[in-house]
Chain A
């Protein structure tokens, strides 16, 4: 999923605010026998059957045990996921926070009967009622994975982990005595404005920002000013995980917001990098397995949702992706390769420091039309990167 997280946020969630979410849809009350197949729309790398790397397989056993053949259609953006679900023909989707509410608002997904998922009780309490899949007390899915957007840094330049996002936002000399100009990166997506707002939350409390995704005009203008100063420091913004990794290797980049995915891969290549969660906190993403309203294979779909929580999936996928399991015990119960240390490295204990991606809408907690909606984030961020 993360690789193409790039194009993830959509103004479409605005729909949910407008159309009003009316949840009353029928849910499955009991399971029959498996239908022999289950069709899943997923982020690339999310559902592995040992074909990419033999050690990472959380499909084969499920197929043998249930007789449900798993068919995966990978999607690279949240938009693609929503489009595929609108087309139909799929049972499940691993939707991110910016797609999930759109799917609920568009009535493409159905409520989940958690009584039919025995492992529901094992789900992280912090995720059980998360706002990106629970609407009006009704659950529209089962939490899948989540992860923070960490600060990645070069350990040869930073002997001590940087404690603040300041290194990427303000012109300063890094511990090696040279300026950070041209040596830091920022995310090439408008959602990065939220990272700037989060930095301001800590450093300019007089702005009164309480939620980096809900900014009024003044707060928004302050965030843009910060980003304009950042433009002077950033030689190239990143949007593709592999390009960022290349920039850390060949372009002399030493600090940037990033995903644990890149940090893990670079480390495995022996690069001198590490990641940290600075004092201001971080933004992050959380994905949910949701079920299509006209799912043709409801029993297999439910069996998969149970499987996604109870098997080695959570534990192994967390290692594979550098993400965090939605089932906390997966870190320690030995069901897969995760350990308490690996979970800690991926940010499992930093949940409270993570402000999860949601789509900014005009009608926010500050009032009707008080906040700057997402489509303006997009056009203004284009301006900022263009040097305006």
Chain B
């Protein structure tokens, strides 16, 4: 009975028919835009970056020589450039540790104790700072930390100025005020990136089943033992996820250290200056590869630590 096959009623039907006969075509159409995005825009720019980093700048004219060489990478090992890398990595590590220490109790409370409106208030509290402009927050902190800012004023009134002076006399952290000291940079980094640590931690802690904690208690574990052997291992993926955020964001940031701190360069600032004013794109590219390398090592270590086992 040929009448059983209904005639196509228009282009829509024909298209459906086509997709029905060749399912891979639909798949291709759906997947092409994200693939193009990943492949061309994302990986392409990364590849261009890598390529540039193998070029070098001509010593005399300052013009980029498009020939492959490792000279630019060797330049990374000059004392002042190693300083920058070391400074950035130290800062990123310190910020990550501080964020983790601060975020854990908050996330734990939110995951295990906050209910109903409290939970909503928690989400709002954590997310709210993310809604306002990053620059506004940094400038606000500049004022808070300034010599004649609110912190300095409060310290003066309470005669606790010696605490700040003591902090500022620690070698390597000196400055004429908190806002011109690396301590200021650190505080602002911690403030800005904290939500990125809290949220994944909280998600991970929520997935730790209550029954396991009860079982642990039934078997006579102290709360400290429960924490160390049950909660922490199970929440580790969240901690690592958060630390990847805080660590990599600090590695790449170039605005906070420009506004707060003693003007010493961080990797991001160096990239910005080298590509912009100096026209030294190869060295800027080589600098930009450094955080990628560090993050790869970091992820590898995290994987070895079993952080992704629960994924």
Chain A contacts to B: CB under 8 angstroms:
7-12, 14-15, 17-18, 77, 79, 181-183, 188-190, 234-237, 239-240, 243, 246, 249-252, 361-363, 369, 373-375, 377-380, 382-383, 385-388
CB of B61 within 8 A of CB of A362, answer yes
- CB closest chain-B residue, reference A382: B265
A369 to B59, CA, bound (A): 10
Q: Is the CB of A362 within 8 A of B62?
A: yes
Given contacts A8-B277, A251-B146, contact A237 B80 (CB under 8 A): no
Q: Quick one: closest A residue to B283, CB to CB?
A: A379
Interface pair A14/B61, CB less than 8 Å apart: yes
Q: Decide: B63 and A15 in contact? CB cutoff 8 A.
A: yes
Q: Once the chains are docked, how many angstroms separate the CA of A7 from the CA of B275? A: 10
Query: In the complex, how many angstroms separate the beta carbon of A370 from the nearest chain B beta carbon?
Result: 10
B81 to chain A, nearest CB (A): 8
Take A14-B61, A235-B180 as given contacts and tell me if A378 and B280 are in contact as well, using a CB distance cutoff of 8 Å: yes
The chain A residue with its CB closest to the CB of B172 is: A387
Interface string of B235-269 (1 = CB under 8 A from A): 00000000000000000000000110111110000
Contact partners of A251 in chain B: CB under 8 A: 146-148, 176-177, 179-180
Q: B57: which A residues are within 8 A, CB to CB?
A: 375
Name which residue of chain B comes closest to A15, CB basis.
B63
Asked if B276 and A77 make an inter-chain contact with CB atoms under 8 angstroms apart, the answer reads: yes
Complex Cα distance, B57 from A387, in Å, reads: 25
The docked-state distance in angstroms from the alpha carbon of A239 to that of B279 is: 18
Q: Does B60 contact A (CB under 8 A)?
A: yes
| Main SS at interface, chain A | loop
- CB-CB nearest in chain B for A185: B263
Interface size on B, residues (CB 8 A): 40
Q: Could you list some 5 contacts between A and B, CB below 8 A?
A: A10-B278, A79-B277, A252-B147, A361-B61, A379-B78
Residue pair B258, A239 in contact (C-beta under 8 Å): yes
Question: What does the 1/0 interface line of B139-179 toward A look like (CB < 8 Å)?
Answer: 00011001111000000000000000000000000011101
B79 near A: Cβ within 8 Å?
Answer: yes
Cβ A379 vs Cβ B263 within 8 A:
no
- A386–B265 Cα distance when bound, in Å, is 6
Asked whether B263 lies within 8 Å of A188 as measured between CB atoms, the reply is: yes
Q: Would you call B61 and A79 a contact (CB within 8 A)?
A: no
Q: Which residues of B contact A182 (CB under 8 A)?
A: 175-176, 180
Considering only CB atoms, which chain A residue lies closest to B79 in the complex? A388
A386-B80 contact in complex given A11-B62, A14-B61, C-beta closer than 8 Å:
yes
> Given A235-B176, A251-B148, A388-B83, A378–B273 Cβ distance below 8 Å?
yes
Contact at B277–A378, with CB atoms within 8 Å? yes
A379-B80, A382-B84, A385-B264 given as contacts; is B176 within 8 A of A252 (CB)?
A: yes
Chain B residues with CB below 8 A from A8, complex form: 277
Give bound CA distance, A15 to B263, whole Å.
Answer: 30
Chain A residues contacting B280 (CB-CB under 8 Å) are 11, 375, 378-379
Kindly list chain A residues whose C-beta atoms are within 8 Å of the C-beta of B258. 239-240
Question: Closest 4 interchain pairs by CB?
Answer: A182-B176, A383-B80, A378-B278, A235-B180
Partner of B180, one of A12, A236, A385: A236
User: Which of B62, B81, B143, B265 is A250 in contact with, Cβ under 8 Å?
Assistant: B143
Please judge, given known A-B contacts A250-B146, A373-B60, whether A7 and B277 are in contact too, CB under 8 Å. yes
Instruction: Answer yes or no: B89 CB below 8 A from chain A CBs.
Output: no
